Amino acid sequence: MASTIHLDRTDFAILEKLQDNALLSNKQVAAEVNLSPSACHERVKRLKEGGILQGSHAVVDPKAYGVSFEAMFLIQLDRHEALLVEEFLQEVIALREVKSVALISGAYDIVAHLRVRDIDHLKSLAFEKFTKRPYITKIESSIVYDFKENRVQKPL
């Protein structure tokens, strides 16, 4: 079972390297954590099979897709039927402009992170894909001036 796997210092070192750069060759990772390639390979294999290493993704310049800036919508819903909310989240994440969507507690219910071409695009997105919906009470639309992300986790 996944949760029963015990991770030692070396495992964390491997995870750190691969979170930083998933394209490192097994040989390179092995060298950086002072292991032979075969030993390192076995660990990585175990981490994958144990569900610790869940995948890896290339990062592509959004400009290549015509994105010029990002925005966020802070959304309030008038009622919270679980089914309705789940359906909404599904529809939202299916939009190509949506980078992420979070369902949260508090004054706002949903935070959507968007990638858009220009202001007109943002406008039409807001009005045609969001505002229209009857169960949305309020949308606070924000431009993202700066966004920083930690792709490498560290022990808490």
Partner DNA sequence: TATTTTTCCCGAATATACTCCGGCGCATAT
Partner DNA sequence: ATATGCGCCGGAGTATATTCGGGAAAAATA
Residues that bind its own copies (CB under 8 A): 2-3, 7, 15, 18-23, 51-67, 72, 74, 89, 93, 96-108, 111, 113, 115-117, 121, 140-156
Measured from the CB atom, is 38 or 142 closer to DNA? 38
Q: Long-range contacts of range 89-96, CB-CB < 8 Å, 24 or more positions apart?
A: 92/129, 95/125, 95/129
Whose CA is closest to 73, among 136, 17, 29?
Answer: 136
The strand pair at 69-77 and 110-116 is best described as antiparallel
Least distance in Å: CB of 81 to its own copies?
14
- Among 18, 32, 41, 95, indicate the residue that binds DNA (CB under 7 A): 41
Least distance in Å: CB of 47 to its own copies?
8
The answer to whether the Cα torsion of 45, 151, 100, 83 is positive or negative is positive
Instruction: Report the interface residues with DNA, using CB under 7 A.
Output: 6, 8, 10, 25-28, 34-43, 45
